[in-house]
Structure formats: C-alpha cells, structure tokens
C-alpha cells in the first residue's frame, strides 16, 4: 500500500505539473483546432466521404501526441534530475524504479487526456466534413411550419464544426476567468476544459441532423441520433497504445538525455518502426537487422487507418492483442530506464 500511495502521488503530481505548462496546452489546442479545420479546406474526397478528416485526425494524434509525450517526459524526469527535485523525492525514501514507473504513469495520464480531446475532435470533424445526403421525401415540423425539403447533394455540417471551435474558445475564456477571479492555474483548466468541451459537443451533436435541424422539432424523427463514425474509436485506441510506448521510451531516455536528444531518438524509432515489416523480412535473428526488428516496436501494428477505407472496420479483439504487444514494449523500455536510473548520480 505504501508503494501504491507513493506511485499515485508522484503520478498525480506529474499530471498536474505537466498540463499546466504552456507547451502542453499549445499542443492540445493546436491538435484539436487543426483537426476541426481540416473539413473547411477539403478539396478532394479521396473516394470516400469524411476520409480526409478522419485520417488527418489520426495523424494529428500521432505527431502531436509524440511531441507531447517527449516534452512531458523530458520535464518530468530530465528537468527534475537537473534541478535536484528527483534527488529530494528519492530521499523520502522512494525506490528509483518506482520513481521511473510513476513518472511514466503520469505521462500516460497526460496523453490520455490529450487523446480524449483529439479523438472527440476527430469524430466532430468527420461528421462536419462534406457528405452526400440523399433526401427522397420532405419532413414536416410539429408546429405546422413549412416543410423541411433539402435538396440532395454534398452537405457540410458547419454547425458541428462551429460548435467544436467555439468549445475551444469557451474553455479558454473559462480558464482565464478562473485564473483572474480565483487565482487558479490557467493551464490546468484550459487543458482539461478543451477536452471536456469536445466531449460535450460530441453528445450535443446527436440532437440535430447534418442540415442543422433540431430532431425534436421534426415529426417522426427520434429525439437523439448519434450520426458519428464510431469506427474511429478502435483505430484511435491503437494510436493511443503507440503513444504509450513512446512515453515509456521517452521516460527511459530522459533518465540520461535531455529533451532534444530524446525527441530525436523517438522520431528515429518512429521512422524505423513504420518500416518494421521490412526489417523482419529475410533476416537472421543474430544479425543487427534482426536485433533491430526484435527490439524496436513495429508501429505498423498500431497504424491501421486504411482499415476503415470503403466501409471497413477494426475489431476490438485486435485492439486487445495489440494492447498486450504494447504492454510488452513498455515493460522492455521501462526496464531499461530503471536500470539506467539505478546508477545515475543525482548529486
């Protein structure tokens, strides 16, 4: 119980201290806004409605999430070692291996909040992008108003996109008021507020159709219809698993390296991981290429955006198997990080 309490305390402190940093807020806000703005600049459908917005959301998760993982791990480990905070924590006493694992759990908490916000924005962007709507009949309102006859064609759900962007602005205003009136941390409320706002709008968009008409005013229509592409969730979960692996790698590297070098090595592992299948083809286990193929995480297992093309889907069973693989990668990197930190001079 003592180890558990120490771990939770360190992880919670890491989350709070990380999300209040301006870089964390900027990464989340940039990721959410860039995802929501993609449908406004969509000039090609790529043979499928909403595909560009969906794939752009996954790319934003990976790229911005990697940057967030490295910067958070660098500040949580490398900066605290340089400032002497880590030495003070170890002197509590706290086991060095517990310190490394707890810091990784804190980074995972920050990444999970980031993932929730960008995933919700991806759902909104996919719905808001241009879709071909075929209206065969007119609908009638309950109050005897004019018939709602929309022509068939491509329709962009601008209301959903506007609510998504407006949610970010409302979260910033709320955080600013909290800081001005109650002297609370702006970064914490802004980071959490953006994530919560996108989640609320995901729920609200089920109250109206793509044309902006409220469903409870349309006769014969259900009150709530969630017209969202929920196939995004399993593929997005795979991206989250990949980010947790990079969080473990960045935490391990941060025990010896500064943030810049850690970021460069993580990008290198990402590029090599995307070619993992090529490294493993026709190679010997005892060769350098074989060792790289075995030790480096195969990111191709977690990057399956094409699985949703042309109405495809991804099973949660595959996500569970990929989760076990991600867990083994995290254990491998954290073990290396604990061994590296065990002999680190904190003086």
Residue whose entry in the numeric block shows the structure tokens 């002297």: 183
Q: Which two tokens stand for residue 101?
A: 């694992």
Q: Which residues of the chain have pLDDT under 70?
A: 43-47, 134-153, 219-220, 276-290, 292-293, 347
Contact 217, 142 (CB under 8 A): yes
Handedness of CA 57, 267, 114, 185 (dihedral sign): negative
Q: Which two tokens stand for residue 60?
A: 């934003």
pLDDT digits (tens, 9 = 90+) for 161-192: 999 999 999 999 999 999 999 888 899 999 99
Residue whose entry in the numeric block shows the structure tokens 């090595």: 265
Domain ranges of the chain: 2-342
Contact 131, 101 (CB under 8 A): no
**Three-class SS of the chain:** CHHHHHHHHHHHHHHHHHHCCHHHHHHHHHHHHHHHHHHHHCCCCCCCCCHHHHHHHHHHHHHHHHHHHHHHHHHHHHHHHHHCHHHHHHCCCCCHHHHHHHHHHHHHHHHHHHHHHHHHHHHHHHHHCCEEECCCCCECECCCCCCECCCCEEECCHHHHHHHHHHHHHHHHHHHHHHHHHCCCHHHHHHHHHHHHHHHHHHHHHHECCCCCEHHHECCCCCCCCCCCCCHHHHHHHHHHHHHHHHHHHHHHHCCCCHHHHHHHHHHHHHHHHCHHHHHCCCCCCCHHHHHHHHCCCHHHCCCHHHHHHHCCCCHHHHHHHHHHHHHHHHHHHHHHHHHHHCCCCC
């Amino acid at each position: 119980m003592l180890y558990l309490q120490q771990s939770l305390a360190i992880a919670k402190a890491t989350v709070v201290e990380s999300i209040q940093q301006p870089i964390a807020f900027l990464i989340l806000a940039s990721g959410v806004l860039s995802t929501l703005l993609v449908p406004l600049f969509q000039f090609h459908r790529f043979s499928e409605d909403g595909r560009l917005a969906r794939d752009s959301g996954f790319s934003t998760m990976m790229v911005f999430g990697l940057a967030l993982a490295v910067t958070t791990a660098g500040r949580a480990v490398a900066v605290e070692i340089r400032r002497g905070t880590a030495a003070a924590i170890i002197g509590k006493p706290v086991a060095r291996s517990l310190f490394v694992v707890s810091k990784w759990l804190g980074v995972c908490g920050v990444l999970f909040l980031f993932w929730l916000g960008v995933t919700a924005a991806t759902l909104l962007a996919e719905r808001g992008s241009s879709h071909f709507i075929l209206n065969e009949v007119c609908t009638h309102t309950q109050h005897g108003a004019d018939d709602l006859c929309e022509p068939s064609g491509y329709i962009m759900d601008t209301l959903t996109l506007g609510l998504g962007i407006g949610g970010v602005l409302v979260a910033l205003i709320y955080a600013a008021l909290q800081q001005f009136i109650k002297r609370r941390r702006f970064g914490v409320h802004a980071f959490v507020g953006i994530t919560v706002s996108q989640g609320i709008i995901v729920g609200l968009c089920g109250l109206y159709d793509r044309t902006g008409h409220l469903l409870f005013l349309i006769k014969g229509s259900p009150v709530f219809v969630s017209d969202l592409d929920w196939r995004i969730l399993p593929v997005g979960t795979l991206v989250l698993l990949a980010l947790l692996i990079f969080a473990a790698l960045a935490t391990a590297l941060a025990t010896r390296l500064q943030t810049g070098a850690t970021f460069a090595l993580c990008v290198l592992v990402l590029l090599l991981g995307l070619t993992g299948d090529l490294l493993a083809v026709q190679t010997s286990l005892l060769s350098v290429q074989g060792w790289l193929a075995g030790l480096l995480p195969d990111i191709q297992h977690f990057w399956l955006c094409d699985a949703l093309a042309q109405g495809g889907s991804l099973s949660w069973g595959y996500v569970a198997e990929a989760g076990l693989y991600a867990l083994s990668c995290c254990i491998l990197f954290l073990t290396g990080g604990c061994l590296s930190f065990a002999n680190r001079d904190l003086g």
